A and B are shown apart, each in its own frame.
Chain A
Amino acid sequence: MTVLGSVLGEHRVVLCGGSGGVGKTTTAAALGIAAADAGQRTLVMTIDPARRLADAMGLASLTAEPQQVPGVDRLSAMMLDAGDTFDGLIKRFAKSDEAGQSILDNPYYQQISSTVAGSREFMAMEKLQQLVGDERFDLLIVDTPPTQNALDFIDSPRRLIELLDGSGLGLIMRATNVANRLSFGLLGRSQDQFARFIEMLTGYKVVGDLNAFFRSFSEIIDTFRERARQLQATLRSDDTAFVMVLRPETALVDASERYVRRLRDEQMNVAAVVVNQVLQSAPATSPGAVEEGASNPAIDAGLQARLNECVERWTSVAEADRVEVERAQGLLNVPAVSAPRLTANVSSLSDLQALAQALLTR
């Protein structure tokens, strides 16, 4: 069994992680094809893929619901983030329409929902959670969200809870209540200071906007907390594996090392690393073929020089790639699988199948 063959065969959820632009989405699709070919009912969940990838899978577009991929038995694909908003989550979790609406109307909430990094990641993970229990599929392959901080998808549930829980505000409110009850001069002054300090700094009316927001939010915070707990459990489960995807570049290998360290700190299982776009070194010269040179009248000195430059350039690229793959394997301490550098975009099902083949035979 090859490295990726066993990763796919032994888990229920496989997450492809890594920096933007390393080919996570394409890798996820290729792994999906490989798993489906091996007999698993597989769902590939991807985020805002290049149009070309939907085309390659023969789908007019990816939708928020799983669709069967034409020509590949047992493979379905879907889009994780189909414009589902944080607002939708609030509406779903709120106890009543009015309760939901009062949160949506709050100016503090409007700022949070339009600026906080992580709500999109939270939504993506929320969708994954819904599908983990889906019996139509044996395997879910997830293309993790592209984020500046690639670990946002892990942190987002926790951060949102902290944000929405308003622990800071809770403390301030408690201090305020104590002060009110004692109506003691000194404490009364500090309460006043708290409120004025925050207002001067931020412009928020502490007892107005914020208090109202946290009061209405406290009703749905438990639902949020429970969902976040379930997400963490899924990510840490033995049935879940991470596959790090990268390209053979120094900065990306270093970033992957930090990423994997964080994943392991979070008790998550990193099972393999896929290095995409690795240039294979030059093929051996054909038996009997003389190195083209003076013997070929069509190749003058100028052309010869440019050919030599090309060889020098691309041989050194291939060598640098080889060094980075080795470094990745050593630093990450997981088996590395390299996929060949492609000279054309992956634009058809057969391109994806070729990539799947390349990944699964190594």
Chain B
Amino acid sequence: MAPVSGRLHIVSGKGGVGKTLIATALARQFAERGEKTLLVDLSDAGAPAGALGVAPAYVPQPVTESLHIARLDARESVKEYVKRKMSFSFAYRGLLENSAVQKFLDALPLFDELMALGKLYDHVTSAQSTYQRVVFDAPATGHAKLLLNVPAVAVDTLKAGPIYDSAGKILQLLRDPERCELIVAALPEETPVREALELVEDARERLGIRCERVILNRCIESCFAADERKVIAAMPSSSKRWAALLNESIADQQAEQARRLAAASINITRVNECTSRQPGVVLEQLVRQL
């Protein structure tokens, strides 16, 4: 059987914009369309959003029949890698438990990141994998730029060897517009929009990853036409006047930020602000609106 080649959707954006829930909602959507989907995050991602009610583990865990979640863990991947590469020699296996070797590998940050990305690659494209969609809840902007550039750095500096080979394969996947895209999560506020624009540019210019879509979270829609605004502004102070003016000033401010994104030829998906702060409720709304 030919290996299935799935598609990788990487989600990044400034910290605090709701990246994890957006990635979760995207994965849910694919799964609800009947595509076999895996949602992946990184082991140092902090507390899981928990909106799916299943704790991620290194080995994919089922949430539903078509939706699984998993967590990348460099240390586990190293073990797996060694088993695979060096199964011919039991002598090497023990070395991995050796503290000097452990420390040495810890001292190679690039190695950890390549191992994690290597596992991600396997989830997308391997003889064993059956996922049609892999959604990667990537780290926030700054860290994501470093992480996604690791394969290119490895290819440039290593020249040869097993790591070089695996970095090359990962790089090929990342740069294949048919198989991989970066989706940027943002809020309609100045700094998140600026970071989103920087990430889009970096993906297109330097990383070579297809990047065309920004999901603009927590949008506030304007509720009143210009003449209505005048009527409201003329009202005496009341909770209605307060709420309406607040709503409109925030909506106006957000519209200005959305225009900055639109100017960079990016597809914008707007998601309205949810009044609830319960992750489960916010997730349902995201799934509906995306």
Contacts and interface: CB of A to CB of B under 8 A. Distances in A.
Interface of A: 19-22, 50, 52, 107, 110-112, 114-117, 146-149, 162-163, 166-169, 171-172, 175, 193-194, 197-204, 247, 249-252, 254-255, 258, 279, 282-286, 289, 291-292, 296, 298-299, 303, 306-311, 313-317, 320, 343-345
B243 A307 contact: yes
Nearest to A313: B275
Given A20-B14, A315-B243, A343-B250, A203 B103 contact: no
B246 A343 contact: yes
A285 B239 contact: yes
B142 interface: yes
Contacts of B240: 291-292, 307-308, 310-311
A303 to B, nearest CB: 6
B154 A111 contact: yes
B235 A254 contact: no
B82 interface: yes
Interface stretch (B65-73, B129-137, B157-165, B174-182): B157-165
A284 B149 CA distance: 54
Interface of B: 14-17, 44, 46-47, 49, 78, 81-82, 85-86, 91-92, 95, 99-111, 113, 139-140, 142-143, 146, 149-150, 153-154, 157-158, 160-164, 187, 189-192, 194, 223-224, 228, 231-232, 235-244, 246-247, 249-250, 253, 275, 277
B107 A21 contact: no
A198 B104 contact: yes
B223 A310 contact: yes
Contacts of B103: 167-168, 171
A199 B161 CA distance: 8
B95 A115 contact: no
Given A21-B16, A200-B86, A203-B160, 9 more contacts: A19-B16, A21-B192, A169-B104, A285-B237, A289-B236, A307-B240, A309-B223, A313-B275, A314-B247
B16 A203 contact: no
Contacts of B161: 199, 202-204
A50 B149 CA distance: 25
A279 B49 CA distance: 25
Contacts of B85: 200-201
A323 to B, nearest CB: 9
Contacts of A317: 275
A260 to B, nearest CB: 14
30 contacts: A20-B16, A50-B190, A107-B158, A112-B109, A114-B153, A115-B113, A115-B150, A117-B143, A117-B146, A148-B139, A148-B143, A166-B107, A167-B107, A168-B105, A193-B95, A200-B92, A201-B105, A201-B111, A202-B105, A202-B108, A203-B160, A250-B277, A254-B47, A279-B246, A282-B238, A282-B243, A292-B241, A310-B243, A313-B243, A315-B239
Nearest to B45: A148
A168 B107 contact: yes
B92 A193 contact: yes
Contacts of A310: 223, 240, 243-244, 246-247
Nearest to B250: A343
Contact of A320 (B82, B190, B277): B277
Contacts of A251: 16, 49
A35 to B, nearest CB: 24
Identify the interface centre among B16, B17, B99, B164: most chain A CB within 10 Å of its CB: B16
Contacts of B149: 114-115
Q: What are the 6 A-B residue pairs with the smallest beta carbon separation, nearest first? A: A203-B161, A168-B104, A168-B103, A289-B236, A171-B100, A282-B239
B235 A148 contact: no
Contacts of A343: 246, 249-250, 253
Contact of B190 (A111, A115, A249, A345): A345
A299 B231 CA distance: 8
Contacts of A171: 99-100, 103-104
Nearest to B163: A203
Interface centre among B82, B106, B107, B223 (most CB of A within 10 A): B107
A181 B15 CA distance: 53
Contacts of A282: 238-239, 242-243
Contacts of B232: 307
A311 B232 CA distance: 13
A111 B16 contact: no
A107 B249 CA distance: 53
Contacts of B190: 50, 52, 345
Contact of B231 (A163, A298, A316): A298
